[in-house]
Amino acid sequence: MATTSIVNPNKQKNFYKLLFCGSIVPEIHYGPFAINWWTTSIQKNNTLPYRIGMKVQVELSNIIFLMEIVLNTDLKPGFSCEVGEESIVCETPSAAINYMYKKITNKKGTTYSGNVVLGFDNLEVTNELLKDVDFQPFMVTLENINIFIFAIGSGWNANWGGVGEGFCSSFTSRFKSESCHFVQKIIKNNCIIEIYKGNECIANFNGATPTEVWKKTGVLKKYKGEELFGVSHTVVSNEFQKYQQQQSTTVTCLPEEWKNREIIDKIFEDNLKKKIGVSGLNWYSIFDSFYEQKSSIIELTSSLKKIYPKEHEFTSRELRAWHTMMSRVGCHDVTPYPKENSKV
């Protein structure tokens, strides 16, 4: 009788290399289907992102495997595993590494954890994955409903334990006899519910309060709207207050404040200074140049090439630090925007 062993590849020396950390894409990682892009940390009781473009190299049984996270057409992550010219994309990292391992080695009794292969049990790797993450989503439960909180909000509403403007959560339940994805938002003091079947929004409702909007759906009537949104949960209230405290220590500004060197120098110190690979870099010239151009769009890569030495090779850590810096000064990675909300 064949036996299956679950192997921790961390016990193998020199097995792992993080090639690219990948990117956090706000529309994906904090969008309606955010729950697909976060996984539970192996070491701590929190979440880690599946960053688009993250790529690792692992050596198993003296064979080099390349794993990469890609964006599938269904807005879910895909996990690519490659050995030489052989490759496959699966819905989970475990499926990808184990399919390819068995195909290449013909060994059927060994099983690897995909998240471990990605390095999610490695503290250095997880710290790198979270360096430019402002908010880690989390889960709370309401009986048998798992509510995923993917935006904590910035407003304050005493009736809901503090959470308010910008709060978003989601869960899976039945609507018109079908399993659906419920997305809940608080925008401009308006409570919104969007119901998805697959990637299609099949219904949406608006109301002044969570209870009012949930009454309009006609489902899950045994619960209060605040409970279904998650806003009344003690964990949510505590996380909101913790997040607000963290944000209060983060220095940010708007583009019209770029001439205030005290503020922008502080943002540079906090986010970029220790991560750029060149001393004496005239980093502020990027912001000066912005005001001299007519377009409201900054193409970051070409702008950086103008201030760095020609032979400089950018690291993923350095580029992420620049993106964090630009987000802190009021830029957004979307188009089009007026100057007060610029695109990087």
* 327 has pLDDT over 90: no
Could you give the 3-state DSSP secondary structure of residue 331? strand
Domain 138-248 of CATH type 3.40.50.300: no
Q: What is the structure's pLDDT at 160?
A: 64
* 334 has pLDDT over 50: no
Query: Which tens digit of pLDDT belongs to each residue from 235-248?
Result: 998 888 888 777 66
Q: What are phi and psi of 86, to 5 degrees?
A: -90, 135
Contact 297, 343 (CB under 8 A): yes
At residue 249 the predicted structure's pLDDT band, cuts being 50, 70 and 90, is confident
- Higher-scoring residue by pLDDT: 9, 325: 325
- Higher-scoring residue by pLDDT: 330, 316: 330
Looking at the chain, the whole-number percentage of residues with pLDDT higher than 90 is 53
At residue 59 the predicted structure's pLDDT band, cuts being 50, 70 and 90, is very high
Query: Which tens digit of pLDDT belongs to each residue from 72-121?
Result: 988 999 999 999 999 999 999 999 999 999 999 998 888 999 999 999 99
Instruction: Out of 211-215, 283-287, 319-323, pick the least confident.
Output: 319-323
Q: What is the structure's pLDDT at 259?
A: 86
- Higher-scoring residue by pLDDT: 10, 265: 265
At residue 41 the predicted structure's pLDDT band, cuts being 50, 70 and 90, is confident
Q: What is the structure's pLDDT at 338?
A: 36
* Strongest mean pLDDT among 128-142, 160-174, 216-230, 327-341: 216-230
Please list the helix, strand and coil fractions of the chain in percent, rounded to the nearest 5, in that order. 35, 30, 35
Nearest to 47, CA basis, from 172, 166, 140: 140
Contact 252, 328 (CB under 8 A): yes
Q: What is the structure's pLDDT at 25?
A: 87
Q: Report how far residue 81's alpha carbon sits from residue 99's, in angstroms, rounded to the nearest whole number.
A: 9
Q: Report how far residue 61's alpha carbon sits from residue 107's, in angstroms, rounded to the nearest whole number.
A: 10
* 287 has pLDDT over 60: yes
Q: Report how far residue 73's alpha carbon sits from residue 6's, in angstroms, rounded to the nearest whole number.
A: 31
Nearest to 164, CA basis, from 134, 133, 136, 191: 191
Query: Which tens digit of pLDDT belongs to each residue from 132-147?
Result: 788 999 999 999 999 9
Average pLDDT, the chain: 86
> Span 184-210, mean pLDDT?
94
- Higher-scoring residue by pLDDT: 321, 149: 149
Q: What is the structure's pLDDT at 280?
A: 83
